[in-house]
Amino acid sequence: MFQISALSSKRFRHFYGRGDAELATAGVIVRLADTKPGYPCRVTLRDAAPGTRMLLLNYEHQSAASPFRSSHAIFVTDGADDVRLAPGEIPEQIRVRLLAVRAFSEAGMLLDADVTEGSIAGDVFTRLFANPEAAYLHVHFAKYGCYAARVDRV
């Protein structure tokens, strides 16, 4: 069994409600969602409705001291609250996209990877976790390469 984890809002709350110019000095760009899907919030694991104020920023999703340390752009809904998914639950945001899934060891070394339609992501998660050395998975949206979520064993 697996569990998908969203990012904690604690990491982003200091940006909530701030002005565009102030955010820009911190490297955060404000965008208004204009399509759905299209603006996937990493805190709520939902795509924002058109008109929603989104924060676009760089996020270090792979902080392990390994050659695979990595960061990329993500969207966070301005004012997003935390969400916790049930074990085995796959949110629509992930189910409707083409995904790149990467398995990492406890030391942050890449062990395996696959590209899959989100509709069958659970099967890929299960297969990658069949490797006992796989400590966690990272899911990325394959088309843009953006980090989507972390997956752990439960």
pLDDT at position 93 is: 97
* Percentage of residues of the chain with pLDDT beyond 70: 100
Omega before residue 40 within 30° of 0, cis:
no
- Please report which confidence band the pLDDT of residue 39 belongs to, taking 50, 70 and 90 as the band edges: very high
**pLDDT tens digit sequence for 40-99:** 999 999 999 999 999 999 999 999 899 999 999 999 999 999 999 999 999 999 999 999
Report yes or no on whether pTM surpasses 0.75.
Answer: yes
Q: Quick one: tokens of 31? A: 């965008």
